Amino acid sequence: MTRGLILDPTASRSDDIADAGPDLATLEGKIIGFRVDELWRSWDWVAEIWAQELERTGAIVKFWRAGGRTGTVGERVIQELDAFTDTLDAAIVGMANCGSCTSWTIHDALWAARKDIPTVAVATRHFEQLAANLAKRGGRSGLRRYILPYPLDILQKAEVHDIARDHYRSFLRTLGVRDRLAVEPAA
């Protein structure tokens, strides 16, 4: 009789980081970076609104668009990601809205989080569990994730802008912003 060893695919990593990492207590003067991609126009639209709001509260916003991920192009993209995240006080990485996009969103968010800066990976509801599983598999189950509605990309720009505005304050709380004037709605 042949014997085999069955591995438990649900096992947790012994080096998992369940902590979300540092908070971004305040926005004023902080450099906030948005990692956008080549696919999801809806993420561009959300990032556009969130960037305007961040700048209104005194943050400095930068954008970086990820490109190809294979061969020499992929190597260059990783170097660019590394250089970009080196300049940030916080990173917002999106958007997890398909299988490969979710993988790369979590990959890039983990890259930023390893630099000990507040980091949020943005996903749509349909890919929430995959994003959580990939973060855990990447050794950081506590990675901050912010979840937007699904489907998002089939909506018109004005509708997506409304959703972005509706989600902005709760997104700030996910990022760890404690500045009451930024997080709480005006009375």
Q: Which amino acid, residue 150?
A: Y
The answer on pLDDT for 173 being more than 70 is: yes
Give residue 1's pLDDT band: very low, low, confident or very high (50, 70, 90): confident
The pLDDT tens digits for 61-86 are 999 999 989 999 999 999 999 999 99
The answer on pLDDT for 127 being more than 90 is: yes
CA separation for the pair 11, 23 (Å, rounded): 28
Share of the chain above pLDDT 70, in %: 96
Q: What is the pLDDT of residue 10?
A: 67
What distances in angstroms separate CA 178 from CA 3, 18, 97, 125, 174, one per listed residue?
A: 56, 21, 28, 25, 10
Domains of the chain by start residue, with CATH? 31-176 (3.40.50)
CA separation for the pair 10, 8 (Å, rounded): 5
